[in-house]
Amino acid sequence: MLKLAGARLLEERDSVLVRSVLDSAPVAACMVAARVEEAGVHPLRLGGELWGYGSKLTGMCFSGANLIPLRGGPDAMRAFADRALRRRRMCSSLVGPSEQVLALWDEVAAQWGPAREIRADQPLMVLAEAPHVVPDPLVRQVRLNELETYLPAAIAMFTEEVGVDPCSDGGAASYRARVADLINSGRAFARFEDGEVVFKAEIGALSRTVGQIQGVWVHPDRRSTGLGTAGTAAVADRLVRGLGRTASLYVNDYNVAARLAYEKVGFRRIGSFSTVLL
């Protein structure tokens, strides 16, 4: 029986091919491209491993806190699954293009399952022009001295979106550090009223061509008032006209209100992501 070629750890000598793969799908690959552009391919600097399949990288996957399969057919997904299953699971989710994520999950589910939740269809959306609605002028970058005010909103958003308190099981310090890093790098945005956050969003990943918006949240008392639409427009405007990037995001298919708000801002769907929460 012919044995399929396995996945291999990519190294700096693979950088040209890696960047070619990332450039071929800049929106879908934004999360990984941002890391590679900043740190290169070496695992110690990257904060994870890049795995390749095929001599011309017909398959590629990032393995870190999240497992992100970026490209490849069934053979590549089986090779990535084999490599992942030969070690202790480190990732908390699988996320990325739907075709690859769902195929990879099929390969690892017997050992890693059951999943806490599978979000099979998350529209991947982009905006490459000025927003179609007026951006909220009161949404601005969060300052580091506002961390303690901003943090409860970030925790509330994460808990609502993922279904887990990020501060549980000893995670408070690491989550606080993550939020502080976003603020310090100028990628956290909010509207404050009476010393409280009523809207927030972050640029979770920023490559040289694309910025991915994440963590959009509106205070429960202010929902259905247009704050989310105008606030998202403000962050998208910062990306498109301020930083010269394409703005992107992905949203749960069942979140109809959010999808309508993003469409009103001018975002259009270009594909599908999937997320498997473990």
pLDDT per residue as tens digits for the range 77-132: 999 999 999 999 999 999 999 999 999 999 999 999 999 999 999 999 999 999 99
Confidence label for 72 from pLDDT (cuts 50, 70 and 90): very high
Whole-number pLDDT of residue 221? 95
Q: Give yes or no for a cis peptide into 123 (omega within 30° of 0).
A: no
Cβ–Cβ < 8 Å for 265, 125:
no
Whole-number pLDDT of residue 40? 95
End-to-end CA distance of the chain: 34
pLDDT value at 33 more than 50 = yes
Pairing between strand 210-218 and 93-97?
unpaired
Would you tell me how many other CB atoms lie within 10 Å of the CB of residue 159? 14
pLDDT value at 2 more than 70 = no
Q: What is the DSSP string of 248-265?
A: EEE--TT-HHHHHHHHHH
Show contacts of 103-106: CB within 8 Å, 24+ apart: 103/69, 103/74, 103/77, 104/61, 104/67, 104/69, 104/77, 104/80, 105/274, 105/276, 106/77
pLDDT value at 233 more than 50 = yes
Cβ–Cβ < 8 Å for 94, 275:
yes
pTM to 2 decimals?
0.94
Which residues have CB under 8 Å from 211's CB, separation 6+? 30, 203, 205, 239, 243, 245, 246, 247, 248
